[in-house]
Amino acid sequence: MDPRNRTLHALVRLRRTEADRARATLARMLADEQAAADLVQASRARIESERQAAMGDATFATAFGDWLPVGREAVERAQTGLDAARRASEQARVAMMQANAALKAAQAIVDKRQEEENEIRTRREQNEIDDLSRRTSINLT
């Protein structure tokens, strides 16, 4: 393999590694996003659960009233975390698309180079066949 082809294949390997890393990062970001969404849901569910518990008891109702700002703050913090996780997931998605595009471009260069080499090899073989055919026809006459 000539140095140019070796370099192109190294580029494809590098781009493939980058694409794999970008895919893994996106998977982690999506898992983080899901965990953040679950936390928001759990925080909201806790408020609802506490509200239900406080409905029939005046003591619970007073305690719930005192606790509610803390519960709402927990929902807000969880929502802020979810928003950040969504942004991180989107950034990871964009990075993965860019890495895949770079891999595809590098692979296209390698494929084009291979196609050119195949064409050259085919032309050489055809020239050798034509040359051999001419020699044979000259020797027959």
Higher pLDDT, 94 or 60: 94
- For residue 3, the model assigns a pLDDT of 87
Burial label for 50, CB within 10 Å (0-12, 13-18, 19+), is middle
Write out pLDDT tens, residues 18-63: 999 999 999 999 999 999 999 999 999 999 999 998 888 888 889 9
Cα atoms in the Cβ-side hemisphere of radius 13 Å centred on 35:
10
Global pTM value: 0.78
- Cα torsion 104, 105, 107, 113 to 10°: value is 160
Write out pLDDT tens, residues 96-131: 999 999 999 999 999 999 999 999 999 999 999 999
Higher pLDDT, 3 or 74: 74
- For residue 141, the model assigns a pLDDT of 60
What CA–CA distance (Å, rounded) separates 71 from 91? 30
Q: Is the pLDDT of residue 139 over 90?
A: no
